[in-house]
Structure 1
């Protein structure tokens, strides 16, 4: 090598040394450590800024959305309503402690000690998100609650960082029980169930409060993969994995001293129930919910409030009695109809309302064949007339007002009237001469007989004797609505509009000795934030007990010996009245026992577009429809079942006003279902029993008490029958109104 080459080599070495020295000077350990700490300070500063900037937000809309639960009176679920979220939030205290522990054991054993975050799991989640590996588990229960309740499920870095910050703040401000309750109430468990209450129902058909530790462990295991771990649809692999996670959960509980090892060894995997289709509005459910919602609107729980969800509405509906009413309609009516092949049968609509007269609670309701097929509730509709079921209210008004006949005699049970068909009323500015059924004339009859046979001419005159305004006032006080309610003699035939619900309230008031009964269907309305008191079902005394009990004694005669004999049985004591409107467009039976008041009705409704009222004549090929037929038969069948096969309860009739009444002989033949008049002139068997009377505890063991040999009659010198006047009134509307 020459001298020049050596010099060049020396210069290259110097340059390399200078370069190497410069790098060493640039990346000294002090500078690297300083840079690291600077980076850490930057990250910490950014986190502090993020911590200060991010507040705990409001809950996301989905997390707070709940279904409304409608329950029978015994707490069993009738249906749930809401916008797509099957959730009912429950307090943690309602969940057994060992079930609470299953979720901690499955998801986050350090939950009660940690600060609400898992930094390692969060960092892993962020890394996997950045690297495109998708979602990553490992979060604490607090973080999962924050994600479900405040944020979204989006797998983004920003969401993960927010989750971290909010979790720290939530852990500082809320106790662990609050967080755990939020977590189990917001988590999704599969089968459309959000929250532990819905999950408990969906998988085991019980409320959360009734879960055992084994079932709780399964629900806790589900949260890792709800669709994959649902036993009903899981693959063999899915079933194996969920059983392993169930066991893992219980083993962790033993480790945490939350479960005894000996008990753990006895537990078997709790195979969940098969999935059930969601309950909708089919059958009677929609009618019950609709009736409840109408009542809730009046109480201030509006549709918008219900839309927000979270309500538990417990109805007064007795599940057994409701099923009995449905079965009775099917057995006594629907099974006999040919809705497809018979044009008349296709028009028949049935409705019914059953009330506890001691409380006003609606215990059963029948709205129609199916809510999704016939949206109008036949139980609450007011577009048909109650017909002659109104006549007892006319008598109640006469007694209450101490009304007198045209001859000045007080109106009582044995007051005599002229029952001639088409007899013009006397003393009215409005002419009216109603025709009796089949244009049958009866001559001189008592009020009791007139009620038994539903004689139109008698009660038309009675309305005039009392005064239409006074009759209307009494009817409104008893609960008949002021809808299409004229103050004319024709109201005796029930020409106003009233539903089975309305008439059940009026008859329940008679049953309750004149103290007002307002039917109500909602037993309680509860939300996490408020509770609403139910309607007050029992009100003040609207007519005297004497008047109410006298009407009851008369209506017993209708069931014993009159048009309501289809409802008569020795299994219970009953009072009632039949009714059939003009041209047989509606037919009703309104009746009660000491324990139950029920009104059953049939309506003729055209199946054509727009509906319209049509005649029921020919229903099930039975000729003319009337209240003593199908309605009374349904009533009797239902009442017998609803009372558990019968009842020994007797009407406590006290101080019966002008009660010259006697005990009827029990019918010796099968009860008639027809309202057609009995042509026999004898009235002795038409009279109800005097009250009070002592009766055996078993109604079937009673011996009939013989009535007096003669019915009271007016003095022969009376020139005109009471109510008969001089027959100077002019005939009015003579359209025959069935009773």
Structure 2
């Protein structure tokens, strides 16, 4: 679309000397070139009349295209010496009546005085005067009346047009549309200020007060030389449009810059006389309300300047890498007169016209025509004193930037795995109250939380395309997700959810348009979900010393699966396995019974408190993929009905991103922060050009779990990295939990999901590995060993954290010291058998000088006080196990 608002209309501009596109609807009048005003002696042309025009040549008048009457004519009664008729202004564009012409000083409806045959007219008459007037005939009077009526009708139309303009201005319902900031691009940055993306219209609005006069003057020179002196309306153009409309000619007219903007802001697209009048009304209103600099600013921010560059600033940056901001902006220099003239010259026709075949004035695609137009603009700038003679004389055609190299962005996420983050930015903008309309208008500067170092580490650790990733060389059906969150703020520092920026977001299952989470998202977290079951248990005063019976079956009589472990699990203490060992070994049975004692709803409540938003039920006839439950909108009673005790060890699907939020809460010792991708949002004030900050997500956290209990949990979880043979570099302390879920009930010999989650005090890391599109049987390299969370996922997790800590140079930090607590009697384990104490031989002591220690040796009834050997106090103490000092077992 060109700056007129008409799609690629090359013909909606005032014509300039030199080559021009063919005229058409809504065209300017075709104006003669400079030489057209310098006719050779002895010739004259009148107006631009069509057939029927009068042309006067030396000593001879050709009227209405008819043959010379009598061979000679005396025009206007007298012709100057030298044989050239002096041609004045015809009252109405030229003669419309055959055989009549108003030439020279002839009044409207007048005619050339043509002597009848035999009156002696000849060449001498041109030098000596006419031969006198002949009497008027009835035919003459008829022609004269017709001429007068035609001229009067034209004047009436013009007067009516002027009346409509005046009347409309004061009385009609034509309202002045409110000029508003044009839609422009939004710029998205990473946490280090590097550009990640530019979205929306390829436009950068510049407040009118900041616009360089060089740019303004160049545009005025190219489009509207009288811009700073007229009142917004080209009255000649309106008169011409009135005449052409009356006579059935083309709808045309000369539009000022104000009229061009009026047409745009009022969305006047049709080609008609009525539109021209409304355009004129709005132009006058604009001029009465805004000053010239404001109108020019509005115009410069709106015009299309080719290659999809909207507004003069986008064009200046795109074509020359400069700015139209006075004095420059940032690293960009202010545009110079030669560059400004090139850009201003594009306005006339920014794109090729398929009808006229004119290729437009883009300096890259059509430099030949662009240079011609540029010369015209430069000359106009000189004539208006907008450039000095010296600047004009030194003019050199400025070569524009070519190709895509000027727009290449090495830090942008377009076509890269990080591109999926765009969806979360859009979603978060909506959550913060930034509407689609505001996003479309643009002008937003969005700084994300993404740390380029952490982002690169996440991609390198999780992508099959990365040579250093444990996923490299694995089947194409395998997919990983890696998420890194700052546990102290909730900021997402790194996010990998797949290599295809336009494909499935495996880390968050966010819809492509950022509208929300997909209904079919999520994966079974398996044992990694136990961190929430444990948080709920600790809150209910359970101790890690509680014991649990691994031989008990579920309430439905089925055996509880323990990730393939046999009956020798818990080192043979299957009937009284303590919770700490069961957590490290990742046995399931204690967590089933904890969920039974607390209720599934309380386990889910702990997960929600940690930061989970969604959880899916098992598949059903109504919901084959499982029903997505919004935890923020579902009460405890409903949760109790929809979920069973298997929730305790992670049967039900959750989002990796939600899970990452919960993991960050555990890493932060029970302080929950809202996970977010946007660090700051600013918008530009179109009037001042200054930035103002908009609302963003707070970094303040909420203590959702007791710190002492979280230190107890961390004291157990920090044993898991070593247990999984994945300790971090430099001996960093870390907490972690693995998890793996079977492919299906029919195929329990393979796992379909594998996790490793946890982190260090500075970074919470969540890793998931599963199938791309469909769930697949996961195996370790070689294809024979089934994959567990402590395998490939743990390797990804370790590489991710080790890379980040090395590149960032972070100090080694530790978690708080462990504070054990809780009630050890709350489990369902059997009482373990008594521990047999070794019997010592004291006979030699009695025979020695220490024999006094053996007094009353045979009287056990007094020393083995059965009261103190109470089973309530000693647990395993019996009447015959009253040890020394009356200690009951």
Q: TM-score range by the shorter chain?
A: 0.5 to 0.7
Structure 2 residue 693 is the aligned partner of structure 1 residue 521: no
8 Å CA contact 1:509, 1:517 repeated in 2: yes
- State the shift of 1:518 in Å: 1.7
Q: Distance in 2 between matches of 1:175 and 1:195?
A: 20
Q: Distance in 1 between matches of 2:322 and 2:712?
A: 49
Q: Distance in 2 between matches of 1:247 and 1:491?
A: 76
- For residues 618-657 of structure 1, what are the structure 2 equivalents within 5 Å? 621=783, 623-643=785-805, 645-651=807-813, 653-654=815-816, 656-657=818-819
TM normalised by structure 2 equals 0.58
- State the shift of 1:630 in Å: 3.2
8 Å CA contact 1:595, 1:649 repeated in 2: no
Residues 390, 346 of structure 1: alpha-carbon distance in 2 compared, 3 angstrom cutoff: same
8 Å CA contact 1:573, 1:649 repeated in 2: no
8 Å CA contact 1:550, 1:657 repeated in 2: yes
- For residues 177-192 of structure 1, what are the structure 2 equivalents within 5 Å? 177-192=293-308
Specify the SS of the correspondent of 1:578: strand
Matched with 1:222 is 346
Matched with 1:213 is 334
Matched with 2:285 is 169
Structure 2 residue 749 is the aligned partner of structure 1 residue 580: no
Q: Distance in 2 between matches of 1:576 and 1:69?
A: 37
- State the shift of 1:188 in Å: 0.7
Question: Quick check: 220-229 or 101-110, which moved more?
Answer: 101-110
Q: Distance in 1 between matches of 2:459 and 2:279?
A: 53
- For residues 209-358 of structure 1, what are the structure 2 equivalents within 5 Å? 210=329, 211-214=332-335, 217=340, 218-227=342-351, 228-234=360-366, 236-238=367-369, 240-241=371-372, 244=375, 255-256=385-386, 269=398, 271-275=400-404, 282-284=415-417, 287-301=420-434, 305=437, 309-310=441-442, 312=444, 314=446, 316-318=448-450, 320=452, 321-330=454-463, 345-358=475-488
- State the shift of 1:586 in Å: 1.1
Q: Distance in 1 between matches of 2:154 and 2:240?
A: 21
Q: Which has the larger radius of gyration?
A: 2
Once superposed, what is the RMSD of the aligned Cα atoms?
5.2
Residues 245, 37 of structure 1: alpha-carbon distance in 2 compared, 3 angstrom cutoff: closer
Q: Distance in 2 between matches of 1:446 and 1:368?
A: 40
Q: Distance in 1 between matches of 2:275 and 2:376?
A: 28
8 Å CA contact 1:619, 1:625 repeated in 2: no
Structure 2 residue 433 is the aligned partner of structure 1 residue 433: no
Residues 330, 562 of structure 1: alpha-carbon distance in 2 compared, 3 angstrom cutoff: same
How many matched pairs?
Answer: 619
Matched with 1:705 is none
- State the shift of 1:179 in Å: 1.9
Structure 2 residue 260 is the aligned partner of structure 1 residue 141: no
Matched with 2:570 is 442
- For residues 56-95 of structure 1, what are the structure 2 equivalents within 5 Å? 56=175, 58=177, 72-73=190-191, 78-79=196-197, 86-87=202-203, 89=205, 91-92=207-208
**What do residues 203-251 of structure 1 show as CA deviations (whole Å, max 9, x unaligned)?**
46788764533377254343233233434423x4145346647866986
8 Å CA contact 1:214, 1:270 repeated in 2: no
Structure 2 residue 648 is the aligned partner of structure 1 residue 492: yes
- State the shift of 1:317 in Å: 4.6
Specify the SS of the correspondent of 1:547: helix
Q: Distance in 2 between matches of 1:526 and 1:429?
A: 58
- State the shift of 1:516 in Å: 1.5
8 Å CA contact 1:98, 1:213 repeated in 2: no
Residues 95, 627 of structure 1: alpha-carbon distance in 2 compared, 3 angstrom cutoff: farther
Q: Distance in 2 between matches of 1:155 and 1:316?
A: 46
- For residues 684-703 of structure 1, what are the structure 2 equivalents within 5 Å? none
Q: Distance in 1 between matches of 2:369 and 2:762?
A: 55
Matched with 1:666 is none
Residues 460, 151 of structure 1: alpha-carbon distance in 2 compared, 3 angstrom cutoff: closer
- State the shift of 1:319 in Å: 6.2
Structure 2 residue 605 is the aligned partner of structure 1 residue 473: yes
Matched with 2:500 is 370
Specify the SS of the correspondent of 1:621: coil
- For residues 513-592 of structure 1, what are the structure 2 equivalents within 5 Å? 513-523=669-679, 533-559=695-721, 561-563=722-724, 565-566=725-726, 568-570=728-730, 574-583=734-743, 584-592=751-759
**What do residues 167-195 of structure 1 show as CA deviations (whole Å, max 9, x unaligned)?**
11111022334322321222111112323
- State the shift of 1:575 in Å: 3.0
8 Å CA contact 2:462, 2:481 repeated in 1: no
8 Å CA contact 1:99, 1:212 repeated in 2: no
8 Å CA contact 2:196, 2:413 repeated in 1: no
Partner of residue 597 from structure 1, selected from 761, 764, 768: 764
Q: Distance in 2 between matches of 1:436 and 1:242?
A: 78
Residues 33, 296 of structure 1: alpha-carbon distance in 2 compared, 3 angstrom cutoff: closer
**What do residues 62-81 of structure 1 show as CA deviations (whole Å, max 9, x unaligned)?**
x9666666554566654566
8 Å CA contact 2:217, 2:381 repeated in 1: no
Q: Where does the alignment leave 5 or more consecutive residues of structure 1 unmatched? A: 1-14, 404-410, 661-714, 721-739
**What do residues 138-194 of structure 1 show as CA deviations (whole Å, max 9, x unaligned)?**
643222211222244555444333322321111102233432232122211111232
8 Å CA contact 1:281, 1:372 repeated in 2: no
Residues 281, 491 of structure 1: alpha-carbon distance in 2 compared, 3 angstrom cutoff: same
Residues 366, 256 of structure 1: alpha-carbon distance in 2 compared, 3 angstrom cutoff: same
Q: Which of the pair has the greater relative contact order for Cα pairs under 8 Å at 6+ separation? A: 1
Q: Distance in 2 between matches of 1:436 and 1:354?
A: 27
Specify the SS of the correspondent of 1:226: coil
Specify the SS of the correspondent of 1:353: strand
Residues 465, 654 of structure 1: alpha-carbon distance in 2 compared, 3 angstrom cutoff: farther
Residues 461, 101 of structure 1: alpha-carbon distance in 2 compared, 3 angstrom cutoff: farther
